[in-house]
Amino acid sequence: METSINLEPLRQTFTLKERIYQVLREAILEMDIYSKDTDLRLDERKIAQQLGISRTPVREALVRLENENLIEIRARIGVFVKKRNIEEVAELVIVWAAIESMAARLACGNVTEEEVKELEMIGVKDTSMSQDVYSEANIMFHRKILELSKCKMLKKIGEDIFAQIEPARRHAMRDPSRTEQSISDHAEIVNAIHSNQPEHAANLVREHTLRLEKYIRKTWKNLDTENI
């Protein structure tokens, strides 16, 4: 056999519906859906026109997004970005707590020294940084825990849940006083994982996330309470 350059097959299901799905998903997650003057309507035809394609692949992307609970397709009325109410968001945070708690449990005794170091670097930064930077690091910390579980399904489903919570979380996490508490929580979690205490790590993560749930329930009033 001859030697030849080794090229990865770069065709990754290059279908429009896939690309559109990703584009729309990101756009939706970046929207400030709880702002009064955000238009929650998505127009199939307009999107298709803007992208210079037909409605069909756009619709298929929308069906997928609806299945992920990010939008709502009302027959012959329109497509709308879904604005979840307090109960739904709080419940999603509970599910997230369940997932991530199990991830922390599995991470114990299953991580290398380097991995723990990485987790620590991400989660235990000083409080001097800006809210945005902190928020970003916070997300990364929780993502990292899902990853350290080495359980792909746990990670995938955790990320899905997270995507649904994110808009509300971003809106609710404006309170700087929460930052300190969060960082000391993170340090404890890192410790528990490092010293291989699955039960303890699981408990810490669960309570940490459930604290967010309580916080959201308390401070939700700031947000627009109208539903679609």
Partner DNA sequence: ATATGGTTTTTTGTATACCAGAGAATATAT
Partner DNA sequence: ATATATTCTCTGGTATACAAAAAACCATAT
CB 43 within 8 A of CB 79: yes
Q: Which of 98, 116, 121, 140 binds a copy of itself (CB under 8 A)?
A: 98
Q: Examine residue 42 and tell whether it contacts DNA (CB under 7 A).
A: yes
Distance CA(14)–CA(189), nearest Å, equals 41
Residue 143, phi then psi, degrees to nearest 5: -60, -40
Q: Examine residue 57 and tell whether it contacts DNA (CB under 7 A).
A: yes
Binding mask 77-106 for DNA (x = CB under 7 A): xxx---------------------------
Q: Examine residue 146 and tell whether it contacts a copy of itself (CB under 8 A).
A: no
Q: Examine residue 152 and tell whether it contacts a copy of itself (CB under 8 A).
A: yes
Q: Which of 92, 107, 145, 190 binds a copy of itself (CB under 8 A)?
A: 92
Distance CA(208)–CA(108), nearest Å, equals 17
Q: Which two tokens stand for residue 130?
A: 């800006």
Q: Examine residue 44 and tell whether it contacts DNA (CB under 7 A).
A: yes
Q: Is the dihedral of CA 79, 85, 88, 94 positive or negative?
A: positive
Q: Which of 19, 25, 64, 211 binds a copy of itself (CB under 8 A)?
A: 64
Q: Which of 23, 35, 45, 91 binds DNA (CB under 7 A)?
A: 45
CB 169 within 8 A of CB 212: yes
Touching a copy of itself, residues 19-58 (CB under 8 A): 56
Q: Pairing mode, if any, of strands 78-81 and 71-74?
A: antiparallel
Q: Examine residue 218 and tell whether it contacts DNA (CB under 7 A).
A: no
Scored b (16 or more CB within 10 A) or e, 30-65 reads: eeebbeeeeebebebeebbeeeeeeeebbbbbbebb
Positions that interact with a copy of itself (CB under 8 A): 13, 15, 17, 56, 59-60, 63-64, 67-68, 74-75, 88, 91-92, 94-95, 97-99, 101-102, 106, 151-154, 157, 161, 206
Contacting residues toward DNA, per CB under 7 A: 11, 15-17, 42-45, 53-57, 59-60, 73-79
